[in-house]
């Protein structure tokens, strides 16, 4: 069903979404109508509680449109964080809306001086009567321009005045609702890829949030949520698999229709080997992603899941970049023209190697599990 919908309804919109660089509300409405937002949610929220099913859905959509697949993921990451670290009251308030699409969320950790370096976060949450006062600035917060709330990572200010390089307050996530005074969402970035889902800066100027808006116990909430990210990482890998498969599909179709030197381009041995070399890592990536997703469904966590999820994400997204690069090569000059869709796949693939934990960070996770931390 998802493949049919992807081909018939999503694919015709993909190029326009990318070119316009605007949020595809019609695609959000379609996913909502199909009930796809509920896939990873527990049964009590109307979901199938299946990470594997979620990965298959993302893969099929990303095969034709990265941005539409992304709409699912930006809905699911806040869900995973709240499910893992939220109180029952927070779950009751936010999860039903995320499951149906009535609410939209976002999560924000990145700052100008702290992307992969989460320890470098400077946004502060100062304790005040009844809650916390947040001050700081964030960048690259995806989906924030349409979100009803944002999970903001901030360092709890213990009043000690500790500076960079010294022990500072613990990190937590805070639920900051869109209409919170002192909370401003800046204009969207003009991105190379993933252009249909906006990424914006955030500004917090004495933005007050109640104590009930803190996710998890003080000093432990962020750690809890990081474990939730391990569980959502297979979904990111699924995007890589879908993108690689879609790029390969386009390349195969192109070389079978194009002739050179008196024969089809697909008849040349060098070209046929390129296609084989695209297929091998794509299938391997698919199996790695499905294995990590199955581990989540089986309740496996900790270092074992972190290792499998990091391998799946790194390999799948590196594969997407490599396959898209070879696909552009097979298109020749047409591959660098905006009139052909393979250009879009190449740009979107590069994004995948950077977002949701760079592939260098994934390699750190893998090495630390194998060799121990430095």
Topology classification of domain 2-104: Butyryl-Coa Dehydrogenase, subunit A; domain 1 (1.10.540)
Q: Please state the rounded mean pLDDT for residues 107-126.
A: 88
Tokens of 11: 């694919």
In the chain, where the domains are located: 2-104, 106-217, 222-371
CA Rg value for the chain: 21
Q: Tell me what percent of the chain is helix, strand and coil, each rounded to the nearest 5.
A: 55, 15, 25
Please tell me which residue in 59, 60, 111, 356 is annotated as part of the active site. Answer: 356
Which class in CATH covers the domain with range 222-371? Answer: mainly alpha
**pLDDT of amino acid 159:** 66
HSE-up of residue 122 (Cα within 13 Å, Cβ side) = 13
pTM for this entry:
0.93
What is the residue whose two structure tokens read 């213990």? 158
pLDDT category at 340 given cuts 50, 70, 90 is very high
Helix (H) or strand (E) holding 174: strand 171-177
- Strand, coil or helix: 112: coil
pLDDT category at 165 given cuts 50, 70, 90 is very low
For the chain, the average pLDDT equals: 93
Catalytic-residue membership of 356 = yes
Q: Please state the rounded mean pLDDT for residues 15-41.
A: 96
pLDDT category at 129 given cuts 50, 70, 90 is very high
> Which tens digits make up the pLDDT trace of 179-220?
999 999 999 999 999 999 999 999 999 999 999 999 999 887
Other C-beta atoms within 10 Å of 40: how many? 29
The region of weakest confidence among 14-18, 40-44, 299-303, 370-374 is 370-374
Q: Please state the rounded mean pLDDT for residues 117-140.
A: 93
Domain 106-217 has CATH 3.40.50.300: no
pLDDT of 127 above 70? yes
Q: What is the DSSP pairing of strand 171-177 with strand 263-264?
A: unpaired
Tokens of 226: 């990081």
- Strand, coil or helix: 136: strand
Q: How far apart are CA 231 and CA 170, in angstroms?
A: 23
Other C-beta atoms within 10 Å of 360: how many? 11
């Amino acid at each position: 069903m998802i493949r049919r919908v992807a081909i018939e309804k999503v694919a015709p919109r993909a190029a326009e979404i990318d070119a316009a660089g605007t949020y595809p509300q019609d695609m959000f409405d379609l996913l909502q109508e199909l009930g796809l937002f509920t896939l990873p949610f527990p049964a009590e929220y109307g979901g199938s509680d299946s990470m594997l099913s979620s990965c298959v859905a993302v893969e099929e959509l990303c095969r034709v449109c990265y941005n539409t697949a992304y709409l699912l993921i930006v809905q699911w990451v806040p869900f995973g964080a709240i499910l893992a670290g939220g109180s029952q009251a927070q779950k009751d308030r936010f999860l039903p809306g995320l499951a149906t699409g009535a609410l939209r969320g976002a999560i924000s950790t990145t700052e100008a001086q702290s992307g992969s370096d989460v320890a470098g976060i400077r946004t502060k949450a100062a304790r005040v009567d009844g809650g916390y006062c947040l001050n700081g600035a964030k960048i690259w917060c995806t989906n924030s321009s349409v979100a009803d709330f944002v999970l903001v990572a901030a360092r709890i200010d213990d009043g000690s005045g500790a500076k960079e390089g010294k022990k500072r307050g613990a990190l937590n996530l805070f639920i900051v609702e869109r209409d919170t005074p002192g909370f401003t969402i800046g204009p969207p970035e003009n991105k190379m890829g993933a252009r249909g889902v906006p990424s914006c800066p955030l500004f917090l100027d004495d933005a007050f949030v109640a104590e009930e808006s803190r996710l998890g116990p003080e000093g432990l909430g962020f750690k809890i949520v990081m474990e939730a990210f391990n569980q959502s990482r297979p979904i990111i890998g699924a995007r890589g698999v879908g993108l690689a498969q879609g790029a390969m599909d386009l390349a195969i179709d192109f070389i079978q229709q194009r002739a050179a030197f008196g024969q089809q381009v697909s008849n040349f041995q060098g070209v046929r080997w390129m296609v084989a070399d695209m297929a091998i890592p794509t299938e391997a990536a698919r199996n790695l992603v499905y294995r990590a997703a199955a581990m989540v469904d089986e309740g496996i966590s900790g270092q074992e899941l972190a290792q499998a999820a990091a391998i799946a994400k790194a390999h799948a997204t590196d594969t997407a970049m490599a396959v898209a690069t070879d696909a552009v090569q097979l298109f020749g000059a047409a591959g660098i023209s905006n009139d052909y869709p393979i250009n879009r796949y190449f740009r979107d693939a590069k994004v995948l190697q950077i977002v949701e934990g760079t592939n260098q960070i994934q390699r750190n996770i893998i090495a630390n599990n194998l060799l121990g931390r430095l």
